[in-house]
């Protein structure tokens, strides 16, 4: 933030002119952090009118962060622009990170490391217990290897942070300079990518006269939602933010997001105090567990593919869309006119779940 910050009274709607001014202030505040360009930004903001008409609720829009461009795109690219720059700042030549087997974060990290000429080691935790060949070798895992990363597997429940630290010690002994990126890129540095996304989205809306009543997205490792919470607070937007949980129970998910959002605001030096009530997560759509299909996810993903021609993923955006659709039907967004869904990418993971959708074979 700058010395010319303007404060909006609680409950007052920010004018497009003030939004632009606050977004400019936020952009200036973000410039002090090192950043390397990896993504195609800004990503498109598009209406989903066929889906909107079918559901009969608010007009639905999609923020296309599947179009960030890095190894088929996704939300982690925004985080990696800051994280990889920080790695370069520290003189790193090797990246270490971790995720679940079909990790979108791992895929995008391997691509970023390849683009910047760094080595990359990926540790994948088996969170589903599946030994299906497509799941453990296809989709994101195939792309991890194609980008030249070293990929190794760990049992479910492993202390993945400890495993990354141990690998870093081994690499240091070999003369490497490793840099550890947490799962999902979810720390205060990575969350800056979604502080910036909140600014970008607000500017897109203001430039077209669109008032966004709510923003909905899938929330897991918490970095995306935490960055959005901090960014929305910085620009004093009245946008209602709702995360649809894909892993943890609601109280745990909201606490993780809140803690990281406050750390992110502190890291930026904004002086903002994040309101606990601004952190909302609905975790009713996780189903039997992280990465495990649900009937609602399957139906939602098929519906979107066949009405809007968009591909969501079965782990994150698919469950997020299931939550959005169900909450529209239950009246959660009654009285709202425009609701945006943030598409966090990950369609490569579909190829790890080829039998999930019960699709017919070839027709004559």
The catalytic site residues sit at: 103
Q: How far apart are CA 316 and CA 259, in angstroms?
A: 21
Distance, CA of 237 to CA of 193 (rounded, Å): 18
Round to the nearest angstrom and report the end-to-end CA distance of the chain: 62
Question: For residues 35 and 81, what is the distance between their CA atoms, to the nearest angstrom?
Answer: 5
**Distance between CA atoms of residues 261 and 273, nearest Å:** 9
- Length in residues, the chain: 364
Distances (CA, A) of 140 to 57, 153, 300: 34, 14, 21
DSSP string for residues in 100-169: ETT-HHHHHHHHHHHHTT-EEEEEEE-SS----HHHHHSTHHHHHHHTT-EEEEE-TT--HHHHHHHHHH
Dist. CA 185–CA 161, nearest whole Å? 13
Q: Are the C-beta atoms of 4 and 25 separated by less than 8 Å? A: yes
Pairing of β 178-180 and β 94-100? parallel
How far CA 82 is from CA of 68, 116, 160, 267, in Å, comes to 14, 13, 22, 13
- The DSSP-derived string for 295-329 is HHHHHHHHHHHHHT-----TTTHHHHHHHHHHHHH
Q: In angstroms, rounded to a whole number, what is the distance separating the alpha carbons of residues 280 and 295? A: 24
Distance from C-alpha of 235 to C-alpha of 189, rounded to nearest angstrom: 19
């Amino acid at each position: 933030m700058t010395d010319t910050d303007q404060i909006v009274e609680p409950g007052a709607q920010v004018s497009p002119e003030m939004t632009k001014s606050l977004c400019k202030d936020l952009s200036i505040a973000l410039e002090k952090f090192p950043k390397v360009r990896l993504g195609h930004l800004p990503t498109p903001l598009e209406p989903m009118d066929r889906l909107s008409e079918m559901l009969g609720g608010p007009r639905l829009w999609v923020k296309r962060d599947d179009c960030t461009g890095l190894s088929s795109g996704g939300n982690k690219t925004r985080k990696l622009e800051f994280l990889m720059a920080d790695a370069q700042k520290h003189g790193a030549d090797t990246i270490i990170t971790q995720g679940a087997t079909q990790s979108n974060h791992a895929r995008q990290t391997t691509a970023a490391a390849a683009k910047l000429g760094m080595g990359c080691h990926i540790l994948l935790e088996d969170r589903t217990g599946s030994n299906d060949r497509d799941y453990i070798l296809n989709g994101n895992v195939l792309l991890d290897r194609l980008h030249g990363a070293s990929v190794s597997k760990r049992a479910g429940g492993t202390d993945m942070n400890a495993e990354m630290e141990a690998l870093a010690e081994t690499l240091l002994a070999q003369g490497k300079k490793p840099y550890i990126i947490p799962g999902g890129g979810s720390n205060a540095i990575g969350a800056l990518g979604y502080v910036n996304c909140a600014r970008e989205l607000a500017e897109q809306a203001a430039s077209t006269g669109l008032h966004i009543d709510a923003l909905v997205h899938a929330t897991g490792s918490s970095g995306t939602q935490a960055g959005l919470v901090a960014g929305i607070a910085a620009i004093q937007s009245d946008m209602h933010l709702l995360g649809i949980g894909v892993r943890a129970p609601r109280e745990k998910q909201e606490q993780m997001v809140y803690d990281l959002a406050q750390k992110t605001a502190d890291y930026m030096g904004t002086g903002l105090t994040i309101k606990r009530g601004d952190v909302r997560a609905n975790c009713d759509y996780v189903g039997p567990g992280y990465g495990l299909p649900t009937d609602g996810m399957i139906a939602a993903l098929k519906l979107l593919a066949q009405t809007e021609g968009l591909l969501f993923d079965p782990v994150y955006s698919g469950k997020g869309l299931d939550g959005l659709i169900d909450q529209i039907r239950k009246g959660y967004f009654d009285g709202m006119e425009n609701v945006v869904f943030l598409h966090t990418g990950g369609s490569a993971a579909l190829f790890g779940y080829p039998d999930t959708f019960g699709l017919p074979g070839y027709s004559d």
